Amino acid sequence: MRETDSSTLPDETDPKPKVTGFGRLLLLVGSIGPLGHAPASGTVAVAVAGIPLCWLMRSYLDATWYAVITVIFAAASMALHQVGDRILGESDSRKLVWDELAGFFVAMAYAPLTWKSMVVGFFLERFIDIVKVPPANIIDKKMHNGVGVVLDDLFAGVYTAIILWLVQGWLV
């Protein structure tokens, strides 16, 4: 069995462990640089990084690859929040914004690729995420780990995707 260096990952018993080089890198990536430190950081992150990244992915990837990358991104978000929240000593830290992007990617999966659908999808997904429509509100209250942090955003994305699909004729 290989011994690991305990200084590279935070100790689960320490509520706010010392931030190491790996931890700093993880927080930098998880906050998308300065975006996670902005007021209304989740909304800013989706507006500044999520919309352009989603547009690029939808423009150059077929539906299968878009779905694969979205699932990988959501799973990475769960892991990132699990460790990042522990480093920060917070639950669902506003500084970590990958969960917001994962929810937006789900929301836009089948919407028409138009500026109208992106704008409507952006505001609708942000509203649904903030309001915490069931079961997202239950997940938000009961699951205080990386999975719970991301799941409520994914539900907001699914609800948004359904609404966008229903009104897609008006978004073209």
- For 94-139, what is the HEC assignment? CCCCHHHHHHHHHHCCCCCCCHHHHHHHHHHHHHHHHHCCCCHHHH
- What is the reported pTM? 0.86
> In angstroms, how far is CA 130 from the centroid of its own chain?
13
Whose CA is closest to 103, among 156, 62, 64? Answer: 156
Average pLDDT score over residue span 94-116: 96
For residue 6, the model assigns a pLDDT of: 46
107-116 pLDDT per residue, tens = 999 999 999 9
pLDDT in tens, 51-69: 999 999 999 999 999 999 9
Q: What is the pLDDT of residue 45?
A: 94
